[in-house]
Amino acid sequence: MIHFDEMACLLYLEGQLDAARSREMAAHVQECASCRDLLHALELETTLLSSALTEDTEPMPARLASEQSQSMPSWVWTLAFAAFAAGAYWFWNDGIGPWFDQLSNAGFGGTDVFSMIVFSGAFWEGWSDMIDAIQIGALILVAIVAIGWIRRRVRRSVAVAVVMSALLFAVALPQQAAAAEVRRGQSISVPVGETVHNDLVATGASVRIEGTVEGDVIAFTRDLTVTGHVTGDVIAFSQEALIDGTVDGNVRVFSRSVILQGIVGKNVTAFANSVDLISKATVGGGMIVFAAEADLDGKMQRDLLGMIGRTDLDGLIGGQAWIRGGSLVVASTAEIRGPATFEGPQQPVVEAGAKLASPIRTEITQEIQRTRRSAARVVFRAIFGYAGALVVGILLLVIFPGFFRATLRETGSIGLPIGIGALALIAGAFLLVLGVLLLFVGVGAGVAGAMAYAPILYVAQVFVGTWLGNRIMGETAAPTSAVAGRMAVGLLILHVARLIPILGGLVGLAVLLWGTGAVLAGFYRMSRVESAPLPT
Amino acid sequence: MDARRHPEGMSPAEQAVAQERIAQAKAGNAEAWGELYREHAPAIFRFCRRAMPTREDAEDATMDIFIKVRQKLSQYDASRPFSAWLYAVAANHCWDLLRRRKLRQGLETGEVENMPLEHPDPGQLEQLIARRSGQEVRRALDKLPARSRMALVLRYYSDMSYDDIAATLGVRRTFVGVVLLRARHQLRDILEGQGGASLAAGGAA
């Protein structure tokens, strides 16, 4: 007798055989005990499998009991958005605002820890050597965020490929397409008589341009000296920058000191400790200056926009002037052809003989806002800030429970998030400065960048607070109210600690680094939820 | 009966209520959606629990599946049973996760191996089945390779058709039986390893 094999038996049981074969099998089974037994055994196996799989052995976890993440009424989103906006505003007022005030009031010698790190760091001597490393860090950060983002839409390999090629494109192509000449070395010079028919990218301890560059000069160096002729822009990260020759385009400098002695065809943007516009110098366009001190003896044809600690104006401003800072002296030789505005703690000094289109409109700013705050206001703000953080935190917990959990887990591994946070903040600050410097479209771009970053910085405290609460009251993942309670306790401690002078600042900074890193790591984890290893 | 296949076997009136609820949820009624979720989430969670290696994976997958379902609800064709459609979405999601994870670990085995399966001895098979509890079977299932486990879950938990299983696992329709049978053999081997006698008696072919 011809028996049916196991495969056929299974297909027969599952109703997968065609009618003819099925009849054949049915007939065969009538006579063949062996096949009948096999069918019976397979059927038992099916029953066992079925019951084993469907037996209700595990209750549904609490967090799945109701579908929170998706059935949010629209008002919750509105509230969440409002809370985020408010958070960003608070952060702006308490974080960025005073920082800007100090920037303008006292140059870069502020005592605020954050501004000290960012801005003193900017004038650190080893900065030029670090530029490459930080650029790489910034690129990596951008890549991680981009991969995470694209990953939600396409498969991992595609995402990586897209980002990698985009990065390569961004890094390699502009230089090749423009065929920029890249020079590296201890000291780089374009001697008198030499002409570079190209953009020049120079990295070295010192860069001297005595000849001609028919294109842009981009320099990462300690000392930059331009005595020759540059037909394009000069973009420089340096300690000392001296422009003594002729630059037909713009000058964008990020340097400790900037001395302009020659002719600049277009505009000057300078982030510096000191800016000197020597009397024989001419700027064809306007100037934007962020500096501790500026001596402006030369001529600029158009406007001056400055956040400058101490300004001495001896020369000509062809357009209007807007200066915010500590002090302004307008010498007898000075001339401002447009309207002028000064915002600072004291009246500007205008010497007799100075030619002004109109009197300087002056706004006296309170010197340092913080010292003037009454105790009541401090407490009020603290309560307000605490409540805001708590509302944002609870909304986050309710709306994005998965993200919250992932981020909280990251917060637990203290060292890693602090590292990521430090890298992200430095890289972020660097990108901000780079963005303002290179793609200068006004401070607006920088502000927009900071605003996009602000929510992350703001929610940083939520996770550190919840972590702290968990430490004190014991860890829990559910229910939501228990987590919220721990968050409330932790945030309260953080906010009270922040009221302590000096120590409060340090706590704030630590929370910022730690929490930001955790949030970024949380984003990363969420973008690859399926990453846990698969037991085989 | 078990609670997994709700909508089937419902009275016409119940069916009409269910269809109405789906239509309302489609139209954006949050309450109807909530009902739908409460009704189906336990079954889908259990499905994920069986299909995915860890409980946490299953929880995350359940959430993601319902996010997908809500987005795709407009694509649901009412002529098909809702639970079948739901399981198809869930199966695709879970299988996608498992497959990608496997790819990452370089464990993808490609086509179904052609190693011949030994013919079992019905008596011994029956004995083995009689000796094993549901819990032992579940533990053994967790040790199966992803595809085998997935195939068994799709077939014997979700009651999925061979066509749907083929589409989900990305194998040809004719291979589904092979995958299932191989999975049963692997399962038997594991159960046997827990202390049974050998099944492969080389039997009556």
Instruction: Tell me the pLDDT tens digit for each residue of A248-277.
Output: 988 988 888 899 999 999 889 888 888 999
- pLDDT band of A307, cuts 50, 70, 90: confident
> What percent of chain A shows pLDDT beyond 90?
12
Question: A49 contacts in B (CB within 8 Å)?
Answer: 137, 152, 156, 184, 187
Measured between beta carbons, the chain A residues lying within 8 angstroms of B4 are 54
Residue A443 pLDDT class (50, 70, 90 cuts)? very low
pLDDT value of position A313: 92
> Does A116 fall in a domain?
no
- Yes or no: is domain B12-105 CATH 1.10.1740.10? yes
**CATH 1.10.10.10 intervals, chain B:** 122-193
What does the pLDDT read at residue A225? 92
pLDDT of res. A299: 92
- The residue assigned the tokens 């297909």 is A11
Residue of B40, B72, B104, B133 to mutate when probing chain A, most A C-beta within 10 A: B104
pLDDT at A229 (0 to 100): 93
Contact A259, A278 (CB under 8 A): yes
Mutation target to probe the A interface, by most A beta carbons within 10 A, among B184, B185, B190, B194 is B184
**Residue at a domain's end among A177, A212, A237:** A177
* pLDDT at residue A7 is higher than 90: no
| B181 with A10: Cβ contact below 8 A | yes
The first and second tokens of residue A249, run together, are: 């385009």
What is the structure's pLDDT at B5?
Answer: 45
List Cβ neighbours of B130 (8 Å cut-off, separation of 6 or more): A44
Pick from A40-44, A342-346, A525-529: least confident: A525-529
Mean pLDDT, residues A309-321: 90
Question: Whole-angstrom Cα distance, residue A16 to residue A3?
Answer: 18
In a domain, A76, yes or no: no
Query: Are residues A414 and A285 part of one domain?
Result: no
> Which of A7, A64, A399 is the best substitution to test chain B (most B C-beta atoms within 10 A)?
A64
- Residue with the bigger pLDDT between A204 and A470: it is A470
Is position A86 within any domain? no
Q: Of B116, B8, B25, nearest to B76 (Cα)?
A: B25
A103 has a pLDDT exceeding 50: no
CB contact under 8 A, B45 and A73: no
- Residue A106 domain-assigned (yes or no): no
Least confident of A156-165, A418-427, B70-79: A156-165
Of A34, A58, A156, Cβ closest to residue B49:
A58
Reported as a pLDDT band with limits 50, 70 and 90, residue A452 is: low
Asked if B181 lies within 8 A of A37 by C-beta distance, the reply is no
Residue A356 inside a domain? The answer is: yes
Q: Answer whether residue A352 shows pLDDT above 90.
A: no
Based on the structure, what is the number of domains in chain A? 4
**Do the domain assignments include residue A385?**
yes
Residue A306 sits in the same domain as residue A377: no
A362 and A229 within one domain: yes
Q: Tell whether B82 is within 8 A of chain A (Cβ).
A: no
pLDDT tens across A270-300, in order?
A: 888 889 999 899 999 889 888 888 999 999 9
| Residue numbers of chain B with a pLDDT score lower than 70 | 1-10, 103-116, 194-205
CB contact under 8 A, A10 and B180: yes
Q: For A111-158, how does the pLDDT look when each residue is reduced to its tens digit (9 = 90+)?
A: 343 444 444 444 444 444 444 444 455 555 566 666 666 555 555 555
Written as six digits, the tokens of A37 are 């037994």
pLDDT at B116: 65
Instruction: Residue A269: name the closest of A110, A433, A108 by CA.
Output: A433
Whether the pLDDT of residue A478 is over 70: the answer is: no
Closest CA relative to residue B81, chosen from B176, B167, B7: B7
Question: Does B51 reach chain A within 8 Å, measured CB to CB?
Answer: no
Q: Are residues A172 and A182 in the same domain?
A: no
**A357 and A419 fall within a common domain:** no
The radius of gyration computed from the CA coordinates of chain B, to the nearest angstrom, equals: 19
* A447: containing domain: 373-530
Average pLDDT of the residues of chain A: 75
User: Are A195 and A171 found together in one domain?
Assistant: no
Q: Count of CB atoms within 10 A of residue A180's CB? A: 18
Measured between alpha carbons, how far apart are the two ends of chain B, in Å?
37
Confidence of residue A70 (pLDDT cuts 50, 70, 90): very low
B17 touches chain A (CB under 8 A): no
Contact B205 A536 (CB under 8 A): no
Same domain, A169 and A182: no
Q: How many interchain CB pairs under 8 A, A with B? A: 150
A154 & A185 share domain? no
Query: What chain B residue is nearest to A58 in terms of C-alpha separation?
Result: B46
Kindly report the nearest CA distance between residue B78 and chain A, in angstroms. Answer: 22
User: Which pLDDT does position A296 carry in this prediction?
Assistant: 93
pLDDT of A533 strictly over 50: no
Do the chains contact at A73 and B145, CB–CB below 8 Å?
no
Same domain, A22 and A155: no
Residue listed under structure tokens 């306790």: A489
CB of B101 within 8 Å of a chain A CB? The answer is yes
Query: Which CATH entry fits the domain spanning B122-193: 1.10.150.530, 1.20.58.100, 1.10.10.10, 2.60.40.420?
Result: 1.10.10.10
The predicted model gives A377-402 an average pLDDT of: 79
User: What is the distance between the terminal CA atoms of chain A, rounded to a whole angstrom?
Assistant: 42
Closest CB to A16: pick one of B41, B123, B162. Answer: B162
A16 and A140 in a single domain? The answer is no
Window 156-175 of B, Cβ < 8 Å to A: 156-157, 162
User: Of A78-82, A244-248, B114-118, which has the strongest mean pLDDT?
Assistant: A244-248
Look up residue A186 and give its DSSP letter. Answer: S
User: Burial of A107 by CB count in 10 Å (0-12 exposed, 13-18 middle, 19+ buried)?
Assistant: buried
Instruction: Inspect the interface and report whether the beta carbons of A52 and B46 lie closer than 8 Å.
Output: no
Q: Do B120 and A73 touch (CB under 8 A)?
A: no
User: Is A71's CB within 8 Å of B34's CB?
Assistant: yes
What ipTM did this prediction achieve?
0.82
For CATH 1.10.1740.10, list the domain ranges present in chain B: 12-105
- Kindly state whether residues A329 and A381 are assigned to the same domain: no
- pLDDT at residue A397 above 80? yes
> In chain B, which residue's Cα lies nearest the Cα of A56?
B46
C-alpha dihedral, A441 to A447 to A453 to A458, nearest 10°: 180
Q: Are residues A426 and A440 in the same domain?
A: yes
Nearest to A41 among B63, B125, B204 (CB): B125
B172 contacts B166 by C-beta, under 8 angstroms: yes
SS3 content of chain B, % helix, strand, coil (to 5): 70, 0, 30
Nearest CA in chain A to B139: A52
